[in-house]
Amino acid sequence: MASPTVQRRTSAPASQLARWMQKFRAALGRPLIAVLVAFVLGGIIIMITTPGPLDNRFITAVSTYYYLIAGSFGSLQSISYTLAKATPLIFAGLAVAIAYRAGLFNIGAAGQLTVGSMVAGIIGIQLAALPGWLLVPLMLLGSMVAGGIWGGIVGVLKAWRGAHEVVTSIMLNWTAFYVCAFLVEGPFQAPKLSQQTLPMAPQATIPSLAILYNQTLGTFLPQIPDPAQYTVDAGLLIAFVAMLVYWFITARTTFGYELRVIGQNPKAARYAGISVRKNIVMVMFMAGAFAGLAGAVRLMGQAPYQLISSAFSTDSTGFDAIGVALLGRTTSIGVLLASLLFGGLQQAGPYLQSYVDVPGDIITIMQALVLFSIAIEYLPSLQRFMPSFLVKSSRPPLVPSLITTKPAEEKGEADMQAVESGHRATSDTVEKTGLKPTSSGQEE
Amino acid sequence: MRKSGAPSLLISLFVLCGVLLSACGGSTPSTNTNGGGSTTAPKSVTLVTDIGGLNDQSFNQSANVGYMKAQGELKFRRQVIESKSQNDYVSNLTRAAQTSDMVIGVGFLMATAMDQVAKANPTKSFALIDSCATDAKGNCDSLKNVAPLFFKEQQAGCLAGVVAGQMEKLGKAKSSKLLGNNTIAAIGGLAIPPVDHYIAGYQYCAKKVDPAVTVKVNYSQSFDNTAKCQDIANNQISTAKADVIFQVAGGCGVGALQAAKAKGVYSIGVDSDQSHVNDSVIASAIKRVDQAVYLTVKDFEAGKFSATPAPFDLTNDGVGLAGLSATVPAEVKPVVDKYIADIKSGAITVPDAVQK
């Protein structure tokens, strides 16, 4: 209605390379800077905590990073361990990411994961007589439904009672930990062991990827020698399918579009005729289903294939998933890369302890630093402090949004328009009603 | 953002790799990783801890003390892996088995993981504290390369029982804080073998010293919830008038020690010397995980590895009584010493099952 008074800038950069650079910066600048800063800070912390003269400390810090890479991606076996650690993180990361798309902060992935693994475990123990081709899908499905219901509770409470999802999901986490610990220590306790169930029957497990390959493609392609040393399981393939499903849901369906709208502005979404309640419950159910799968795949894919009651509350996957989702900027590929980073860090922990004399806690510190760096958002603040001729067009908004559908400057322009038209509207009313100019009018 | 996925991600991947590689470029790792090969070098031993870290004031720490003692004497390369989650047991044990000749696992939760790793690495030796390697059916798997390290906790429990029983027998005249109801109590975490061994010994020897004493036994169903054990101890002190509280519940039991202090009665610690908690702790029934680790490593280096080692007891300092406080009447010590001698000589056999 109101014509823009601000001069429209051409946002398309001149060359292909420059456009690539801009897109690259938009998509990955912040996560990369966050990781980089975390690693530099981590190095400083290692240097502070290790004994010896300064140059020794420096060598320790450098060799820590050397072994960090050697331990996580240095050999085929290390890579397989890293992938095995990353698999549940991918599922759990998607669980946090999909809720984040709708503006919900799903802290409850840990609880949903616990419930999922418990239900998969119960099915695996009770129906162990079933053949594997039926049992494995049944366990996966059971974990999805159970995790989904656990997440759905959060959604229902949010949609109909307005209870904040952070509060309810944290509370449900502990409910899940304790209920499942009770189940493991009570009805499903192994006869001669304490605080743990019996391991799952072999047909209730997901085979290792290397063994699966040898049995299928390996019959006519070269075999993998000694497949038992590569621990990564076929759950990784399921994780890829989940990533594909996630991408399809969020990018190619009306539901995904509605989620984004709700995430950016629930009031506008309701005004546009989107059923916010239904979508919130749906998205929390899906988040729970992803998290439940994380638990089931972890239980069925990795030794010792059993549930341990005290592991529920100490397993950090559900919480690491928050970092994974944020670092991955809630995209499929981003979640994969962030999972590989976190999985690699965790995998390298024991390796570091063996080869460099640094405590294993340094890994936890690094993860925390990555999270911290994401939260701080160095890049936008740096840009804001840069002199204006250096930044030119891409001055970021003061309140950064993780999910931007438009480039930042267009959005800023739209805001300017809105402000402009708002001002016009007020001055119009002032004129019409003949009242004295109020404070807003005086600005004109 | 999404449209530009592929190219920008590719670049980012390169940049990420570049950053990481440049961070380590030209580095010369400071630690020395060789050591195998030569025949004179001692065989390497790795300690894999349970969750909780090396400074957990409990078994991890104790095991590390024994490990460090052996390492100081025998000069093998130090390699300790702290487990961060129960899900890491298998990968940590595997990593340890691949890089050393012997692996020591701390904690009974590793039982099934140890079984799987030991079967996959038959040429390496393993030792597991407080448990045997357990197969898929939950039964002890008698593998030739796994040594289960068991303790006769009942002997330590017995000495705690002797202290408590003797104090009750001497009565209020010697120990002013007694409530005069001739009742003592024990709080167990869960009714699992190591806990029950302690309590059985406590019960048996307290009654042997003072047949008139009543021993109240409760379980908290937790090893970490301090408040739970505090509640139970308060209840035992207020309603049953128990005046010596023996805690066998790990971190939870610290609450029992605090309750004893608050109510002004006596308490007995467990596993390690807990006299630092407060002055209500008159003694601690200890389990020398450090001694067990030290002896096992020493035997292993001397080529005397056994898959069925004798349980650790008073004769090899595997269990004992520590930190007998000055508030305990002087008459108690000689009785304790007599029981130690009798148990060592076999004159007294302490049962390991709790009398209900």
Q: How many CA atoms lie within 13 A of B237 on its CB side?
A: 24
Judged on CB neighbours under 10 Å (0-12, 13-18, 19+), A231 is: buried
Q: Is the Cβ of B34 closer than 8 Å to some Cβ of chain A?
A: no
Structure tokens at A247: 């991408």
What is the model's pLDDT at position B1? 40
**Do B140 and B157 belong to one domain?**
no
**Residue B8 with chain A: CB contacts under 8 Å:** 20, 23-24, 27-28
- Does any domain span residue A389? no
What is the rounded CA–CA span in Å between residue A331 and residue A361? 29
CB contact under 8 A, B138 and A185: no
Residue B165 CA to chain centroid, in angstroms? 25
Break chain A down into helix, strand, coil percent, rounded to 5.
Answer: 75, 0, 25
What is the rounded CA–CA span in Å between residue A439 and residue A228? 75
Q: Residue B29 — very low, low, confident or very high, per pLDDT cuts 50/70/90? A: very low
**Do A126 and A210 belong to one domain?**
yes
Structure tokens at A49: 């905590």
What separation in angstroms does the CA of B41 have from each of A356, B74, B77, B283?
Answer: 20, 10, 10, 42
Residue-range definition of the domain harbouring residue A433: 408-444
For residue B337, which amino acid is it?
D
Judged on CB neighbours under 10 Å (0-12, 13-18, 19+), A220 is: exposed
| Last-in-domain residue among A332, A365, A381 | A381
- Does any domain span residue B300? no
**Residue A69 with chain B: CB contacts under 8 Å:** 20-21, 24
**Residue A351 with chain B: CB contacts under 8 Å:** 95
- Does any domain span residue A323? yes
**Do A296 and A437 belong to one domain?**
no
| Last-in-domain residue among B79, B114, B149 | B149
- Does any domain span residue A308? yes
**Do B329 and B253 belong to one domain?**
yes
Residue A151 falls in which region: left (phi positive, over 0), alpha (psi -120 to 50) or beta? alpha
CB contact under 8 A, A298 and B116: no
**Do A131 and A91 belong to one domain?**
yes
What separation in angstroms does the CA of B79 have from each of A52, A355, B95?
Answer: 20, 8, 11
Nearest to B249 by CA among B195, B206, B285, B290: B195
Cβ–Cβ < 8 Å for B45, B70: yes
**Do B110 and B193 belong to one domain?**
no
Least CB–CB distance from A194: residue in B9, B99, B192: B192
Mean of the per-residue pLDDT values of chain B: 85
CATH number of the domain that residue B119 is part of: 3.40.50.2300
Counted domains in chain A = 2
**Do A37 and A154 belong to one domain?**
yes
**Do A415 and A348 belong to one domain?**
no
**Do A412 and A374 belong to one domain?**
no
The backbone torsions φ and ψ at residue B200, rounded to the nearest 5 degrees and listed phi first, read -60, -45
What is the model's pLDDT at position A415? 45
**Residue B105 with chain A: CB contacts under 8 Å:** none
**Do A68 and A144 belong to one domain?**
yes
- Does any domain span residue B247? yes
What is the rounded CA–CA span in Å between residue A343 and residue B76? 31
**Do A438 and A340 belong to one domain?**
no
**Do B280 and B341 belong to one domain?**
yes
Reported pTM: 0.77
pLDDT higher than 90, residue B5? no
What separation in angstroms does the CA of A376 have from each of A239, A342, A373, A395?
Answer: 30, 19, 5, 17
Report the complex ipTM.
Answer: 0.72
CB contact under 8 A, B30 and A59: yes
Residue-range definition of the domain harbouring residue B331: 153-288+314-345
**Do A289 and A429 belong to one domain?**
no
- Does any domain span residue A403? no
The backbone torsions φ and ψ at residue B141, rounded to the nearest 5 degrees and listed phi first, read -105, 115
What is the model's pLDDT at position A141? 97
Measured in Å, how far apart are chain A's first and last C-alpha atoms?
19
pLDDT higher than 50, residue B164? yes
CATH number of the domain that residue A42 is part of: 1.10.3470
- Does any domain span residue B181? yes
Nearest to A195 by CA among A299, A312, A295, A319: A312
| Last-in-domain residue among B149, B174, B203 | B149
Q: Is the Cβ of B55 closer than 8 Å to some Cβ of chain A?
A: no
Query: Tens digit of pLDDT per residue, chain A (444 long)?
Result: 444 444 444 445 567 888 887 777 777 777 888 888 889 999 999 899 888 888 888 888 899 999 889 889 988 888 999 999 999 999 999 999 999 999 999 999 999 999 999 999 999 999 989 998 999 999 999 999 999 999 999 999 999 998 999 999 999 999 999 999 999 988 898 877 778 888 898 899 999 888 888 888 888 888 888 787 788 999 999 999 999 999 999 999 999 999 999 999 989 999 999 999 999 999 999 999 999 999 999 999 988 898 988 888 888 899 999 999 988 988 999 999 999 999 999 888 888 887 787 877 888 888 888 888 887 766 666 666 666 655 555 555 555 555 544 444 444 444 444 444 444 444 444 444 444 444 443 433
Nearest CA-CA distance, residue A236 and chain B, Å: 17
Give the tens place of pLDDT for each residue, B83-114: 888 888 888 898 899 889 999 999 888 988 99
CB contact under 8 A, B90 and A350: no
**Do A363 and A218 belong to one domain?**
yes
Nearest to A182 by CA among A114, A253, A275: A114
- Strands in B319-322's sheet, in edge-to-edge order, are B214-219, B183-188, B242-248, B266-271, B281-287, B319-322
What is the rounded CA–CA span in Å between residue B56 and residue A259? 46
**Residue B53 with chain A: CB contacts under 8 Å:** 361
**Do A319 and A443 belong to one domain?**
no
**Residue A361 with chain B: CB contacts under 8 Å:** 53, 82
**Do B240 and B120 belong to one domain?**
no
**Do B212 and B325 belong to one domain?**
yes
Nearest to A173 by CA among A319, A286, A346: A319
From A255-264, B62-71, B76-85, the region with the lowest mean pLDDT: B76-85
Q: Is the Cβ of A143 closer than 8 Å to some Cβ of chain B?
A: no
- Does any domain span residue B79? yes
Q: Is the Cβ of A383 closer than 8 Å to some Cβ of chain B?
A: no
Nearest CA-CA distance, residue A322 and chain B, Å: 18
- Does any domain span residue B32? no
CB contact under 8 A, B28 and A59: yes
- Does any domain span residue B12? no
**Do A97 and A235 belong to one domain?**
yes
- Does any domain span residue B9? no
- For A225-249, give the DSSP string: SSGGG---BTHHHHHHHHHHHHHHH
**Do B231 and B160 belong to one domain?**
yes
**Residue A196 with chain B: CB contacts under 8 Å:** 109, 111-112
**Do B180 and B113 belong to one domain?**
no
The average pLDDT across B256-264 equals: 93
- Does any domain span residue B206? yes
Nearest CA-CA distance, residue B136 and chain A, Å: 6
**Do B62 and B195 belong to one domain?**
no
**Do B215 and B337 belong to one domain?**
yes
pLDDT higher than 60, residue B17? no
Q: Given the DSSP bridges, would you call strands B45-49 and B102-105 parallel, antiparallel or unpaired? A: parallel
For residue A247, which amino acid is it?
W
What is the model's pLDDT at position B185? 94
Cβ–Cβ < 8 Å for A33, A405: no
Q: Is the Cβ of A16 closer than 8 Å to some Cβ of chain B?
A: no
| Last-in-domain residue among B130, B149, B168 | B149
Counted domains in chain B = 2
Torsion on CA atoms B1, B4, B10, B16, rounded to nearest 10: -20
The average pLDDT across B15-31 equals: 42
